[in-house]
Amino acid sequence: MKRLIGMQIAEKAFYDLDAPLGRVCSAEVPIPCAHHLEQAAIPQVEKIVAAARALLGGA
C-alpha cells in the first residue's frame, strides 16, 4: 500500500513540527495528453522548491 510522505510525517513527527504540513498538488485542470501541457499542470521541481521556501518564510 502506498503511503503519502506527508501522512508519514504527521504520524511519526507531529509533535516535532513547527508549522502545519503544506500541500503541493497539480493544477485544477484535467491532465492533458500533450507533454508540455502535462508538465505545466503537474508540480515541477521549481514549484515544489518555491512552496518549501514560502513555508520557510522565503529563506
Share of the chain above pLDDT 70, in %: 92
The CATH code of domain 5-55 reads 3.40.50.920
Check: pTM over 0.75? Answer yes or no: no
pLDDT in tens, 12-38: 998 998 888 887 787 788 877 888 888
Query: In whole angstroms, what separates CA 5 from the centre of its chain?
Result: 10
Are 31 and 38 within 8 A, CB to CB? yes
Amino acid 1: pLDDT: 45
Provide the residue ranges of all domains of the chain, joining segments of one domain with +.
Answer: 5-55
Are 31 and 24 within 8 A, CB to CB? no
Show Cβ contacts of residue 22 under 8 Å, excluding neighbours closer than 6 positions.
Answer: 51, 52, 55
pLDDT of residue 42 exceeding 70? yes
